[in-house]
Amino acid sequence: MEHEAVKRAATSPAARRGGTRNLWRRIREPLAQSGFVKNFIASLFAWFVRLIRITSPLVEGSAKFAGGAYAHLQPGIIALWHGQHLLTPAFYPKERPLVAMVSRSADAELNALMLEKFGIEAVRGSGGRDNSRHLDKGGAKALIALKKSLVAGKNVAMIADIPHGTPRDAGLGIVLLAKLSGRPILPTAITTSRRKVLEKSWDKTTINLPFGRSAIVIGTPVYVPADADDAEMERKRQEVTASLNAATEEAYGLVDGHK
């Protein structure tokens, strides 16, 4: 009887799931190190966001990155929220080059590879946590590279909130870049009517889906004076947060028919 009970336990659904997880753990690391596999997955991601762009026409009232009312604001710093930024490569026009800051984490490498599929240059770094003076070496180098891109006339894109920090709350890194470059921050939201929100993820990542409607909203630009002190930097950080949250709410309203 005891032997039969052990046998049944070993073949139970829970045991099979455990075996599957163990198998995945054994093969995950070799796959993560494979350049071919990473490039293949990035290509699939790029194909998927292109499909969303093609099958999700922009609704009336959407903003345009190129020309028009925003021409005088470029080159600018496109600010995006974590978990809401995945569509940017497919919706960004090719009229002006774009350089994007991407985290130095292993998970973000796929994002950097996908950007390359769209001709977007990726700069690896992090935007700093609580104080603009506390950027690590990699983050400081990335901000310098982004400043040079702005001087060269390229737009740059940067995630405004801090990885695994408080979602939808801007960090000081993007404010520091605006101070150093003299260029405006353009709080930007891109969304679709068909989407799945991963509620358990720290940033409530949004998986956008094809065959719906899409919207782009650019919020109130934020300028940061070159002589801004710590108190002014904090005020500007709050401005970025408020403007980007307002743009996100407006974008959702456009695609969901609330406006």
- Per-residue pLDDT tens over the stretch 133-174: 445 656 788 999 999 999 999 999 999 998 878 889 999 999
What residues does each domain of the chain span? 2-33, 38-255
Average pLDDT score over residue span 71-78 = 92
* 38-255 CATH fold: Glycerol-3-phosphate (1)-acyltransferase (3.40.1130)
Q: What is the mean pLDDT of residues 112-121?
A: 94
Helix (H) or strand (E) holding 55: helix 35-55
Q: Express as a percent the part of the chain with pLDDT over 70.
A: 79
Residue 27 token pair: 């093969």
How many other CB atoms sit within 10 Å of the CB of residue 65? 21
The confidence score (pLDDT) of residue 202 equals: 85
Q: Which residue has the tokens 């939201």?
A: 189
pLDDT higher than 80, residue 22: no
Under 8 Å between Cβ of 192 and 214:
yes
Give the pLDDT confidence of 192-249 residue by residue, as tens digits. 999 999 988 888 899 999 999 999 999 999 999 999 999 999 999 999 999 999 999 9
pLDDT at 110: 86
